[in-house]
Amino acid sequence: MKKFKSLLIVCLCAGVALSTTGCGKKKKGGLRDGDIGGLTGTDIYRNPLGARPGEDMEYARQFEPVYFAYDSSQVDASERGKIEGVAESLRRSANTGVIVEGHCDERGSREYNMALGERRALAVRAYLIGLGIDGSRIQTKSFGEESPSAPGHDEESWRLNRRAEFVLFY
Amino acid sequence: MKTHMKHILIAGLFLLALAGSSALAQIRVTKSAGTKSGIDLTGIQAAGDQASALFMTTLREDLVRSGWFTITGRGQGQFRALGSVSLRGGSLRVECQLYSTAASRALMSQSYDHAANDARRLAHRVADDIVYAATGRKGIASGRIAMVGNASGHKELYLCDADGGNLVQLTSDRTVSIAPKWSPDGRQLLYTSFLKRFPDVYLVTLQSGNRTAIANYPGLNTGAAMSPDGKDVALILSKDGNPELYVKNLRSGRLTRITETPRAAEASPSWSPDGQRIVYVSDQTGKPHLYAVSRSGGRPERLPGRGSENVAPDWGRNGLIAFCSRTGGNYHVMVLDPRTGETRQISSGYGDFEDPSWAPDGRHIVCSHAQNYRSRVIILDIMGDTPVALTDYKGDWMSPAWSPE
């Protein structure tokens, strides 16, 4: 509980610092680009992560992956609806958490892609926080380029592999 | 002046150059002057058994691989080895003296006694001793190379000798194991594994097989590299909300955050030989490039690099930084002298050359070479010898790291 409290305090502090983000105190409806984490790639990356989940039940592939442009961790407008769907589901079941997995295509440095994948997962996490989901329910996990979903070596495979996936846990 | 003296002098100049201020320029001079000496091995009397024969084959190959020698016929060459190889019980006994044709005094005189079923390993040792006696430089034959292979269907860590032999599978975790890096004493490996479902940093002691997680914070834990004094580990963590560079003290566990870049990701730290600075990758300009920063933090300095991306640096004990640069759509291995800013491309040809790691001689570099979506590990020579393939095994091989000795 202590951990949760300190996390909440950090969250609130972050919320005050970025008063427009309104972490955990999201006003209903009327989201504007400037309001939401995960869009501008700037100050959203100051939300510390909570403790990892234990060996819970995990449910993958309940939601559509969020796709990214090459070498980018910005959440495109076309992808936001998917994250809003995840937020809705998390709102409905309070005991559920989500692991956001960040993935890259095979091009570029393996080690750098581990960091880029994490940035993608964190961008989606920040968007969820912007939608009012408590950050302690959202974990991130980068696979870099180590776990492609499409096996090809062409533009279409690369597009499908630059993604964030959602894994729910209870 | 006798030819071999010239060669030794050149090797000496090369060493001086590496300690001086324009190592890369000097390498070019050295290269054009020629660096190979002939060595006559016909004076080593080897017994007819299998172990002795394997010893001699391996020794010959190692000496050629060192880059400093060509094997000559009887009575030719600037160096001449005398001695014997024989099997006694389960033991291989080797006597070896090395002479230069200029002087009568032996440059080296050694006796060896080693398990006969490990003849290759003994040959590696003798080869390195000959290289040292003739050139004053560390050899590469006794070192080992850690790398990642996927032949089992999972990415596991492997070890092999510097000639690709003696392949050993180190992990059997059936998960993803990546980015092996040696401790400075060559006894431990740091790497990243998804053993507990998330990317964590592990430290393995090779002899005991003992493995401990040294970073398993929430989010990303990766890119770990041990400082030259073995006391600290530089690594990438995202626990505070973004992938950043940290230094963790191994004894106290204390973490020092080095970078603060909410708009950028950091990756791939590597320590300077004196342990005072860290080179790493950051994409704060929108593309990944190299930066150097004091080990205690402060203002990072952007390092020059030719390509649209400059990644995967390895700061060698010769003071030069090997890294990988994207030029014309492909990745190539480059070497940067951070004191002068001079950069030279080392790899050439088709495909992607990535993840360079310096050999202990400061002359060779091991890296991965991906072509037609197959990846293998090869050895490059900054003085211009033809690249040599290390892995001829099934599967893809990548992220090699050469042991410090």
DSSP A64-112: PPEE--TT-----GGGHHHHHHHHHHHHH-TT-EEEEEEE--S-S-HHH
Enter the DSSP assignment of B155: B
Give A146 to chain B, closest Cα distance, Å: 7
Per-residue pLDDT tens for B71-82? 999 999 999 999
Q: How many angstroms separate the Cα of B242 from the Cα of each of B102, B236, B349? A: 62, 10, 37
Give B94 to chain A, closest Cα distance, Å: 44
Across the range B133-158, mean pLDDT stands at 96
Indicate yes or no: CB of B309 within 8 angstroms of CB of A109.
Answer: yes
pLDDT value at B9 more than 60: no
**What are the CB-based long-range contacts (under 8 Å, 24+) for A13-16?**
A14/A46, A14/A47
Give A108 to chain B, closest Cα distance, Å: 8
Contacting residues for B238 by C-beta, under 8 A, at least 6 apart: A49, A118, A122, A140, A142, B218, B219, B220, B244
Indicate yes or no: CB of B241 within 8 angstroms of CB of A122.
Answer: yes
Tell me which CATH homologous superfamily contains domain A2-169.
OmpA-like domain (3.30.1330.60)
pLDDT value at B18 more than 50: no
Across the range B136-155, mean pLDDT stands at 96
Indicate yes or no: CB of A122 within 8 angstroms of CB of B239.
Answer: no
Spatial separation of the C-alpha atoms in residues B342 and B255, rounded to whole Å: 34
Residues of A in contact with B326 (CB under 8 A): 108
Checking DSSP bridges between strand B79-88 and strand B37-46, what pairing results, if any? Answer: parallel
Q: Does A140 touch chain B (CB under 8 A)?
A: yes
Indicate yes or no: CB of A118 within 8 angstroms of CB of B354.
Answer: no
Residue of B nearest to A143 (CA): B199
Phi, psi dihedrals of residue A84, rounded to the nearest 5°: -65, -35
Spatial separation of the C-alpha atoms in residues B227 and B353, rounded to whole Å: 26
For chain A, residues with pLDDT lower than 50 are 1-38, 40-42
Percent of chain B with pLDDT over 90: 86
Across the range B228-240, mean pLDDT stands at 97
Indicate yes or no: CB of B239 within 8 angstroms of CB of A49.
Answer: yes
Domain B36-135 in this protein, CATH class? alpha beta
Spatial separation of the C-alpha atoms in residues B215 and B217, rounded to whole Å: 6
What DSSP line would sit under B289-302, residue for residue? EEEEEETTEEEEEE
Per-domain boundaries in chain B: 36-135, 144-402
How many contacts (CB atoms, under 8 Å) link A and B?
128
Percent of chain B with pLDDT over 70: 92
Spatial separation of the C-alpha atoms in residues B233 and B269, rounded to whole Å: 9
Residues of B in contact with A52 (CB under 8 A): 198, 216, 218
pLDDT-based confidence at B23, cuts 50/70/90?
low
Contacting residues for B213 by C-beta, under 8 A, at least 6 apart: B196, B200, B201, B202
| Interface list for A 68-127 with B (CB within 8 A) | 71, 73, 108-112, 114-116, 118-119, 122
Enter the DSSP assignment of B320: P
Instruction: Give the closest of B194, B265, B324 to A116, CB-based.
Output: B265
Disruptive mutation site among A11, A43, A73, A114 for chain B (greatest number of B CBs within 10 Å): A114
Contacting residues for B281 by C-beta, under 8 A, at least 6 apart: A109, A111, A112, B266, B267, B268, B288, B289, B290, B291, B310, B311, B312, B313
Spatial separation of the C-alpha atoms in residues B148 and B17, rounded to whole Å: 34
Give A89 to chain B, closest Cα distance, Å: 23
Q: Which amino acid is at B302?
A: R
Enter the DSSP assignment of A24: T
Residue of A nearest to B244 (CA): A115
Q: What residues does B188 pair with on adjacent strands? A: B205
Per-residue pLDDT tens for B174-191? 999 999 999 999 999 999
What DSSP line would sit under B169-213, residue for residue? E----SSBEEEEEE-TTSSEEEEEEEEESEEEEEEEETTT--EEE
Spatial separation of the C-alpha atoms in residues B30 and B380, rounded to whole Å: 17
Give A28 to chain B, closest Cα distance, Å: 25
Contacting residues for B184 by C-beta, under 8 A, at least 6 apart: B226, B227, B228, B229, B230, B404
Contacting residues for A49 by C-beta, under 8 A, at least 6 apart: A135, A139, A140, B217, B218, B219, B238, B239, B240, B241
Instruction: Give the closest of B178, B241, B287 to A47, CB-based.
Output: B241
Beta strands in B303-402 (DSSP E): 309-315, 321-327, 330-337, 342-345, 352-358, 364-371, 374-381, 388-389, 397-402
pLDDT for res B145: 98
Going by C-alpha positions, the residue among B362, B320, B335 that lies closest to residue B131 is B362
pLDDT value at B11 more than 60: no
Residues of B in contact with A146 (CB under 8 A): 155, 176, 178
Across the range B380-398, mean pLDDT stands at 92
Which run of H or of E encompasses A13?
helix A2-17
Spatial separation of the C-alpha atoms in residues B61 and B47, rounded to whole Å: 19
The per-residue pLDDT of chain B, averaged, comes to: 91
Going by C-alpha positions, the residue among B259, B296, B299, B298 that lies closest to residue B281 is B259
What DSSP line would sit under B2-34, residue for residue? -HHHHHHHHHHHHHHHHHSS-HHHHHHHHHHH-
Residue of A nearest to B354 (CA): A109
Least confident of A58-72, B146-160, B169-183, B373-387: A58-72
CA contacts within 13 A on the Cβ side of B166: 19
Instruction: Tell me chain B's radius of gyration from C-alpha atoms.
Output: 22
Per-residue pLDDT tens for B292-329? 999 999 999 999 988 899 999 999 999 999 999 998 88
* CATH 2.120.10.30 is held by the domain B144-402: yes
Least confident of A47-61, B25-39, B220-234: B25-39
Disruptive mutation site among B150, B176, B237, B238 for chain A (greatest number of A CBs within 10 Å): B238
Indicate yes or no: CB of B218 within 8 angstroms of CB of A47.
Answer: no
Instruction: Give the closest of B197, B239, B312 to A111, CB-based.
Output: B312
Spatial separation of the C-alpha atoms in residues B319 and B339, rounded to whole Å: 9
